[in-house]
Structure 1
Amino acid sequence: MKQHFIELSLLLLLALSSLTSGTETSPDYFFIIFQWPAATCDSKAGGCCLPKKGKPVLNDFIISEFQPFYAKDGVTPTNCTTKSKFEPSKIADLVPSLEKNWPSLSCPSRDSKKLWKEEWLEYGTCSESVLNQHDYFAAALKAQKQINLLKIFADAGIKPNGTYYPAEAINKAVKKAGLNEVVVQCRNDENGVNAVLDKVTACATTKGSKKPCPGMFWICDSTNGNAVKFLPPSTSL
């Protein structure tokens, strides 16, 4: 619960535009949260398990969450009241891509459909005014592909090889790619310093196109000058 609160607080740093009163009925854009699998899989405190079905990519950023944001109200609502239930048949054509790019890596091992159900009920139901169930997941996949975070980093010389990279280099890379501002979250390294690249939050339109995030750049609150360690792809599975 505490970690979830912290994550939501960080996301709001991306939306510091002036807010007006009134309740919105449709999200203005989405936060897409990318996760580097090795940060979890190779963590002493974490660890991961392959899902029961499908083969996830472990050498690229996967989708962690796709959250609708209501800018005027300044909120990312969750678990919205709706009669809509998660129906796997509605996303059958997306399953091969979802198994690769939005897998469950939690332990014990489970079918990724359970994760997708959780994500739909928590966040997807709060975006039904613009995206139905199929289009919600399709938009997330589209945003992931269009942003291509690993390529953005590679083009800037930021590679997953265990090297520490300065915050300035990451900030410059995402701005050059048109993402503007992002949130970078970390896990502890072997010395207990909060510096291992874990998650990156960017923005996407309601159609799944990349969108410059408003707000400010934020990177791991560490004690090593905000340098970030980019782990090699996980080999522990």
Structure 2
Amino acid sequence: MAAARLSLSLLLVVLAVAAGQRAAAQDYDFFYLVLQWPGSYCDTKQSCCYPKSGKPPADFGIHGLWPNRDDGSYPQNCSPDNAFNPSKVSDLLSSLRAKWPTLACPSGDGHKFWGHEWEKHGTCAANVFDEHGYFQAALRLRDQLGVLAALTSNGVNPDGGYYTLRQIKGAIQDGTGFEPYVECNRDEAGNSQLYQLYFCVDAAGDSFVECPVLPSGRPCGNRIEFPAF
């Protein structure tokens, strides 16, 4: 009987250690895939700078793939020693320049932007992604959505016109199967404009899911400009 109790105690310790290791390995519940319209980034008082590779395509670019928790909090900077290494994504650089461009000033090659995203967010998903896998997953998920095509096929065009929040969400839902959280910013004249879209991805980084919690972004109102780029 004593041996059985000892075996049970050892089993409970092993299970507790394993649970602790899993918790440490995955300190998040889902991802936000955040896409950004470059025309809205640039059409502000702050303006923008095109990257050294030239003006990016007029399409939604990636801002980041961010691990988040169901309570609205998120981990960050999880492995300070795991710095961004461009050589690990050398085969992805042309895609990153086109689909994950930097628009910050002064003009850059993107390495600072990608490094920030990997070090702050990507390292917190090391249980499923190494550096290459993180960027590859974000590119794949972005391409899978086809957001701009979803909007334009439903008459929502980046031509400086104005649309309702319902039109924008409905067009994206119709074209992608998922309704995003829509974040707006303001142009120099103070008009609300379509800025960022948040989609939720499961904790494995594989599939889109309905968002368990919505981010706290700037409210859009109901007259939203979709500026040209």
TM-score bracket for this pair, using the shorter chain length = 0.7 to 0.9
Gap change, CA 1:216 and 1:95, over 3 Å in 2: closer
Question: Please, which moves more after superposition, 84-93 or 55-64?
Answer: 55-64
The list of structure 1 runs, each at least 4 consecutive aligned residues, that deviate by more than 4 angstroms after superposition, is 215-220
Q: Indicate the residue corresponding to 1:65 in structure 2.
A: 64
Matched, 1:226 2:226: no
Partner Cα distance (2:214, 2:93) in 1: 35
Aligned length: 205
Cα deviations by residue, 1:58-94 (Å, 9 ceiling, x for unpaired):
31000111101233x5422111135322111111111
Gap change, CA 1:114 and 1:218, over 3 Å in 2: closer
Matched, 1:47 2:54: no
Gap change, CA 1:99 and 1:189, over 3 Å in 2: closer
Gap change, CA 1:40 and 1:106, over 3 Å in 2: same
Gap change, CA 1:219 and 1:109, over 3 Å in 2: closer
Partner Cα distance (1:135, 1:129) in 2: 11
Shift of 1:158: 0.8
The 5 Å alignment of 1:174-185 reads 174-176=172-174, 177-180=176-179, 182-185=180-183
Q: Which has the higher helix share?
A: 2
Q: Which runs of 5+ in 2 are unaligned?
A: 1-21
TM-score by length of 2: 0.80
CA contact (8 A) 2:43 2:188 kept: no
> Could you tell me the percent identity over the aligned residues?
35
Matched, 1:203 2:204: no
TM-score by length of 1: 0.77
Root-mean-square deviation over aligned CA pairs: 2.4
What letter matches 2:49 in structure 1?
C
User: Secondary structure, in 3 states, of the residue corresponding to 1:83?
Assistant: coil
Partner Cα distance (2:31, 2:214) in 1: 16
User: Secondary structure, in 3 states, of the residue corresponding to 2:127?
Assistant: coil
Gap change, CA 1:101 and 1:141, over 3 Å in 2: same
CA contact (8 A) 1:35 1:64 kept: yes
Cα deviations by residue, 1:134-168 (Å, 9 ceiling, x for unpaired):
00000100011001110111122111111111111
Cα deviations by residue, 1:159-213 (Å, 9 ceiling, x for unpaired):
1111111111122223333213x221212245424x1111111122333443332
Q: Indicate the residue corresponding to 1:120 in structure 2.
A: 118
CA contact (8 A) 1:160 1:230 kept: yes
**Structure whose CA Rg is larger:** 2
Gap change, CA 1:41 and 1:189, over 3 Å in 2: closer
Gap change, CA 1:196 and 1:77, over 3 Å in 2: same
